[in-house]
Structure 1
Amino acid sequence: MDQWWIHHDVISIDAATGARERLIVSDRDWMDYRTGQEFGPGQVSPRGDLVLFRSYRSGWINWWLAPMEGGEPRPLAPEAADQSSQKPFRGYARWSPDGARVAYTSNLRGRQILRIASVDDGTVQTLFAPEMGLVANPAWSPDGSRIAFTFDTPAQVPDLFVMDAAGGEPTRLTHSLPDPSLADAFFMPERVSYENDGLTINSYLFRPPEPPPPGGYPAIVWVHGGPSSQFEDGWRRHADAHYFIKHGYAVLAPNIRGSSGFGWEHEEANNGCWARCDLDDVVAGARYLGTLPDIDGDRVAVTGVSYGAYLSFAASTFAPDAFRAAVPLREGYANRIQLVESESALANINMYQYELGLLTENRETFRRASPTLFAQDVGMPLLIIAGEGDVQMRAFATEAARYYKPVTYERYDDVAGRAARLQWMPRMLAFLDRHLTADVDLWP
């Protein structure tokens, strides 16, 4: 991987001496923010003749094969979908013990299914394709007859399953939810989409179990972190939303421009326009909610963690009339100039340069991407939920207070931990109830 984490080489090294033997394949133009984990390790076939590696060269993250002795690489099973995502914690593809097949997953707009591809002719067998859910972490049995994997849904925590490699129904091996009655507290979403600026924004819409009140459900637009990340059919990214759904809020989880999992063009679409063009997709999500008969489009809030918190700050300043309230949830860096000038983590430095350019050459771009510098334009109440290291969130609150804006700042030790959640989640609910379910708009 080069110093900018954009270009990648798979090389052969002598195990005894550590000497570099030869270059097997070069891959270009894939900014790997996760320090090489996204590109991943080259995996040598048990036969010793091929290397399996990931590449974005087709416009989708697919698995490719390169001869160990050199030559042109070829796609294993090309498709217009990312393979073996979301991110490295979902597991890489796996060679069968005999080297004849590869087990991998395909990400179909958030639905992740299990497939096996023949190495020799590219024939693909779809092994397990639930209507909604996320298959990940495939692993072969030593004799190649079975495959184990994890599976979860927005309403089911991850568990371990196993099935025959020839097909059939999977067998569940674990039950991770400690109390089966807790399943009643989780809800399955509907897949929806809306159009904005020529883009299709694939999203998830959760509705409360009870009938809508007069005028429709109040709603929350929940923005994911990243920006190169994705809401998918799994449990992890939707876990916090269930608490608010249970208490009567509809939740929209949009994959705005800049999200991964929808091809190169969609992921690159917010480069150079953070907090502006991608925020426009968030605002369009609120407008979309207003078109639904069971949702009150005048009672919508925005929230999210990390980049989602950042866009919640951006909504309060750059789209002050779009939402009733905003709740930035930890790690919201709202002053990109200050962040770059003080940044020491190489991963972040490389990402900012790739997505926004050099600060010395693009200062206006960074300024426009910094809501703290526009705190005088805050147009909605904010509840800021910060951790002990979230100094930029405190700085935003301080700056907004200078202009007498209605900002509440709360700091928690281990803000993502269970003990802190038991405190801030009810407080966030009370804040939303006050500003979204009141008979009158409490702002200004």
Structure 2
Amino acid sequence: MIRLLPLLPVLLLPSLSVASAQSAAALARVDAAQMSIPAARQTFQKGGYPGSALTVRQTLAAGSNYTRQVVSYQSDGLRINALLTVPRGTPPRGGWPAIVFNHGYVPPKVYRTTERYVAYQDAFARAGFVTLKSDYRGHGSSQGEALGGYYAPGYTTDVMNALGSLRRDPRVNPARIGMWGHSMGGFLSLRAMAIDPSVKAGVIWAGVVGDYDQLMNSWTRRAPVPASIPSAVLNLRRQAVAKYGTPRDNPTFWNKLSANTYLRDLGGPLQLHIGTNDEDVPVAFHTTLAAQLRPLGKLGGSYVYPGDNHNLSGNLRVALDRSVKFFRERL
């Protein structure tokens, strides 16, 4: 069931956001152990990521052959906003295939539901997929606090509840849902697929898909770390190492936090894309993951675009076409 609320044109105004800052109390509750993949799997198996009915917050101008709405769903008791697209026309038997759309890092204070990734989401929407792009907690008008995706579990929880919400939607075929992620969203997509093996397929662009040893020791960026990331959030890594040691000192602990440890359990293949001139994510993350997936029969394609950037701007149409084709074949 979808509940309709009156249109709220001011919903996206930053003055209504309840999650601009990272409070000391929220940071104090973060423990790297909360990123455990086995623990998240147990939570999932016990029905711990149910999502909710999608509540319409605002109806937007329609796309060429699909509707667009700002909706919200529940995650950890928080209201998380998202951009939903639904194809027009008669759905196929069992419902439309769907894609959970996971965006990369955007400064939470300036994030807007209807900005960024417009062309990306449009390509999948026009191809006949329901898409749901979660804002994550603390982004735009979503409730909660933005504590980053790598050492705090909140964003992963929001993605899992977005998946649960799509499964509940009567327009969606719950057996035909995939994941698309860019940059940090690739990290979240890989985690979600490791937690829930019923996800049929995933596509990751310029993904932060290294294990924790790679994230800590091999993540060389040609661009500076965004100044918009609060120092308290950046310090979560230091705090985790102080408590648990480094991935090389304590591999047992850190391997349980890494989705890369559980690639054999993925329920479907991954297609990977990256540009060689990516200033934010090392190409080595992509090539290492591709090499790990290939012998497992889990690699659905590995595309490296010479000279292209973090957003694949120079090959955008080619990468989108490949991604759409992959989802059509797999979902």
Aligned-pair distance for 1:298? 1.4
Aligned-pair distance for 1:271? 7.2
Aligned-pair distance for 1:210? 2.9
Aligned-pair distance for 1:244? 1.3
Aligned-pair distance for 1:154? 7.6
CA RMSD of aligned residues (A): 3.5
CA distance in 1, matches of 2:143, 2:171: 35
Closer, same or farther in 2 for the Cα pair 1:369/1:255, shift >3 Å? farther
Alignment partner, residue 225 of structure 1:
104
Alpha carbons 2:80, 2:136 under 8 Å: kept: yes
**How does 1:348-367 map onto structure 2 within 5 Å?**
353-358=234-239, 360-361=241-242, 362=244, 363=246, 367=255
2:192 matched to 1:294? no
2:285 matched to 1:409? no
Structure with a larger share of its residues in helix: 2
Aligned-pair distance for 1:383? 0.7
Where 2:146 maps in the other structure, the secondary structure is helix
Alpha carbons 1:313, 1:334 under 8 Å: kept: no
Aligned-pair distance for 1:240? 0.8
Q: Relative CO higher for 1 or 2, CA cutoff 8 Å, sep ≥ 6?
A: 2
Alpha carbons 2:101, 2:181 under 8 Å: kept: yes
Aligned-pair distance for 1:368? 4.2
2:228 matched to 1:347? no
Alignment partner, residue 293 of structure 2:
400
Alpha carbons 2:104, 2:185 under 8 Å: kept: yes
Q: Which amino acid aligns with 1:320?
A: P
1:416-443 deviation per Cα after TM superposition (whole angstroms, max 9, x unaligned):
345412222111111111111xxxxxxx
CA distance in 2, matches of 1:286, 1:265: 19
1:374-403 deviation per Cα after TM superposition (whole angstroms, max 9, x unaligned):
333333211111221522011111122243
Alignment partner, residue 256 of structure 1:
136
Structure with a larger share of its residues in strand: 1
Alignment partner, residue 123 of structure 2:
243
Where 2:128 maps in the other structure, the secondary structure is coil
Alpha carbons 2:79, 2:143 under 8 Å: kept: no
Where 1:189 maps in the other structure, the secondary structure is strand
2:77 matched to 1:198? yes
Structure 1: where are the runs of 5+ without partners? Answer: 1-60, 63-78, 85-110, 112-130, 133-152, 156-183, 437-444
Alpha carbons 1:224, 1:231 under 8 Å: kept: no
Q: 2:186 aligns with which of 292, 309, 318?
A: 309
Aligned-pair distance for 1:245? 0.9
Stretches of 4+ moved more than 6 A in 1?
none
Alignment partner, residue 433 of structure 1:
328
Taking structure 2 as the reference length, the TM-score comes to: 0.67
Where 1:205 maps in the other structure, the secondary structure is strand
Aligned-pair distance for 1:237? 2.5
Alpha carbons 1:154, 1:235 under 8 Å: kept: no
1:218-249 deviation per Cα after TM superposition (whole angstroms, max 9, x unaligned):
11110111275476343433221111111111
Alignment partner, residue 148 of structure 1:
none
How many matched pairs? Answer: 263
Radius of gyration: which is bigger? Answer: 1
CA distance in 2, matches of 1:186, 1:319: 31
1:144-195 deviation per Cα after TM superposition (whole angstroms, max 9, x unaligned):
xxxxxxxxx887xxxxxxxxxxxxxxxxxxxxxxxxxxxx648652122221
CA distance in 2, matches of 1:403, 1:219: 25
Alpha carbons 1:154, 1:238 under 8 Å: kept: no
CA distance in 2, matches of 1:202, 1:215: 26
Alignment partner, residue 328 of structure 1:
204
Closer, same or farther in 2 for the Cα pair 1:302/1:344, shift >3 Å? closer
Structure 2: where are the runs of 5+ without partners? Answer: 1-12, 21-56, 277-281
**How does 1:14-413 map onto structure 2 within 5 Å?**
80-81=16-17, 185=64, 189-226=68-105, 229=108, 232-257=112-137, 259-262=138-141, 265-268=144-147, 272-274=151-153, 277-321=154-198, 323-344=199-220, 347=225, 353-358=234-239, 360-361=241-242, 362=244, 363=246, 367-388=255-276, 389-413=282-306
Q: Which amino acid aligns with 1:241?
A: Q
